[in-house]
């Protein structure tokens, strides 16, 4: 698109005016085409991140535009709405990235140094708007944008929030976006030593680069798994809810905006065993996986978030080569471009395309032996996210510039007056 734009500009600048059939050819017209700033932003917002990073070198105005909070948000919004700029992270201790549109024929690209050493053996806690939150066993937590190749280490939780020490270790993490406060947050749930203590919950905000404690989770919710799932401004996970002598499976959520807890209604599934269920995000919606060992996997989706009747069975996976183990792990990752196939991660060992109509599979080659897959949308969102400070700084620039101009005029006047006094003396 940029090459066509530059070509168009060149043609306009060098074009000649119409010539008369009887007169000599006229001189080339010196025409300069000006684009309004909003039109330039509209064109650039349609480009992938890789090209936008190069466009930053065109001029200072372009660099300021691409780095501006408004443009970063507009770019990710358009990418999500148009389902473009899709990427895939492959992790097996080392992080790899691959363009989703060329997954079948592309070779995974290994993360560059020094991030390779820094983020080695890391686990993806969650991703949102192109940002990934990583947990490393030695170095702690990091926010990482694979598209811009930028990374930031997050502040560790202070020891006073980790007390009392009967809360042994963090048993669950989550990462998501708080749209109301325009902030990215990390949730850490600490497992109690005794059930009556309840779960201690800590939350980290990127804007303040600090942690704070939330109200304890009730002890009658037994959490399962290590990761929370982000959807619709909240983090979710499957729990076993115990009331008296009875227990049931429930979806528990923490709203990142108001930082309060709530339960999300479940679909009417057949199973009552939490080990035969899974919670994932698929096609930007909250999905429940219902495993029927040796038979099929049902994928349920909540079309209208928070509404129980909006749950519906999206599709079923029932190929023998996929459904072969009792302890199977089949996770849908994303649709193909024509939405006729689904990318599946099977037992952390294979990546397959599953055709929904023909019920056939196609295994993707050149994958590591054991790996995890994470689909994401490429963006310009910086890991050191704090656009409030940037916007306030931009708002104060005109005032500071006006103040500097007034100061220069005052200094010039004072020098003139001082010079006049010297002449009289």
Mean pLDDT, rounded, of the chain: 80
Name 363's bridge partners: 352
Question: What pLDDT, in 10s, does the model give residues 45-75?
Answer: 999 999 999 999 999 999 999 999 999 999 9
Report the percentage of the chain scoring pLDDT > 70.
75
Residue pair 35/68 in contact by the 8 Å Cβ criterion: no
Strand ranges in 20-158 using DSSP code E only, listed in sequence order: 86-91, 95-99, 109-110, 123-128, 131-136, 140-145, 150-153
| Burial of 136 (C-beta count, 10 Å sphere; 0-12/13-18/19+) | middle
User: Residue 101's closest CA among 333, 281, 336, 366?
Assistant: 336
Q: What is the mean pLDDT of residues 336-364?
A: 89
Q: How confident is the model at residue 230 (pLDDT cuts 50, 70, 90)?
A: very high
Question: What pLDDT, in 10s, does the model give residues 282-336?
Answer: 999 999 999 888 888 999 999 999 899 999 999 999 887 777 655 568 899 999 8
pLDDT at residue number 347? 85
Q: How far is CA 124 from CA 236, 381, 408, in A?
A: 16, 17, 53
Q: How confident is the model at residue 222 (pLDDT cuts 50, 70, 90)?
A: confident
Residue 386 has pLDDT above 50, yes or no: yes
Q: What would the two tokens of residue 110 be?
A: 């290994």
Q: What is the mean pLDDT of residues 5-34?
A: 47
Question: What pLDDT, in 10s, does the model give residues 354-380?
Answer: 999 998 988 888 777 778 888 999 999
Contacts of 397 (CB under 8 A, 6+ apart): none
Q: Higher confidence at residue 62 or residue 246? A: 62
pLDDT at residue number 171? 72
Question: What pLDDT, in 10s, does the model give residues 117-172?
Answer: 888 888 899 999 999 999 988 888 999 999 999 999 999 888 777 665 454 555 78
C-alpha to C-alpha distance for 406 and 141, rounded to whole angstroms: 47
Q: What is the mean pLDDT of residues 335-343?
A: 90
Q: How confident is the model at residue 181 (pLDDT cuts 50, 70, 90)?
A: very high
Q: What would the two tokens of residue 302 be?
A: 């909540």
């Amino acid at each position: 698109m940029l090459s066509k734009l530059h070509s168009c500009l060149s043609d306009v600048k060098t074009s000649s005016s119409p010539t008369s059939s009887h007169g000599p050819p006229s001189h080339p017209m010196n025409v300069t085409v000006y684009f309004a700033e909003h039109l330039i932003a509209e064109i650039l917002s349609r480009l992938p991140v890789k090209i936008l990073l190069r466009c930053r070198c065109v001029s200072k105005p372009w660099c300021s535009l691409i780095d501006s909070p408004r443009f970063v948000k507009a770019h990710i919004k358009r990418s999500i709405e148009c389902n473009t700029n899709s990427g895939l992270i492959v992790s097996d201790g080392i992080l790899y990235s691959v363009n989703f549109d060329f997954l079948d024929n592309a070779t995974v690209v290994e993360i560059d140094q020094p991030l390779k050493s820094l983020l080695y053996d890391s686990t993806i806690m969650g991703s949102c708007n192109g940002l990934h939150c990583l947990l490393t066993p030695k170095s702690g937590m990091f926010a990482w944008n694979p598209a811009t190749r930028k990374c930031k280490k997050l502040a560790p939780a202070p020891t006073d929030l980790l007390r009392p020490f009967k809360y042994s270790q963090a048993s669950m993490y989550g990462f998501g976006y708080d749209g109301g406060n325009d902030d990215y947050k990390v949730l850490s749930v600490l497992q109690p030593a005794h059930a009556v203590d309840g779960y201690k919950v800590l939350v980290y905000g990127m804007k303040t680069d600090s942690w704070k404690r939330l109200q304890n989770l009730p002890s009658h919710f037994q959490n399962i798994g290590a990761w929370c799932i982000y959807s619709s401004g909240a983090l979710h996970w499957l729990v076993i809810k115990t009331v008296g002598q009875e227990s049931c499976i429930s979806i528990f959520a923490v709203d990142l905006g108001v930082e309060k807890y709530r339960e999300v209604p479940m679909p009417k599934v057949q199973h009552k065993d939490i080990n035969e269920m899974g919670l994932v995000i698929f096609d930007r919606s909250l999905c429940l996986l219902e495993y029927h060992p040796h038979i099929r996997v049902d994928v349920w989706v909540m079309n209208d978030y928070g509404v129980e009747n909006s749950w519906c069975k999206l599709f079923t996976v029932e190929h023998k080569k996929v459904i072969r183990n009792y302890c199977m792990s089949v996770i849908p990752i994303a649709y193909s471009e024509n939405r006729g196939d689904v990318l599946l991660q099977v037992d952390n060992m294979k990546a397959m395309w599953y055709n929904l109509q023909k019920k056939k599979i196609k295994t993707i080659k050149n994958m590591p032996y054991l790996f995890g897959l994470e689909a994401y949308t490429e963006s310009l969102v910086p890991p050191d996210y704090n656009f409030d400070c940037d916007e306030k700084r931009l708002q104060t620039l005109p005032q500071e510039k006006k103040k500097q101009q007034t100061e220069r005029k005052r200094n010039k006047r004072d020098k003139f007056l001082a010079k006049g006094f010297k002449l009289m003396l």
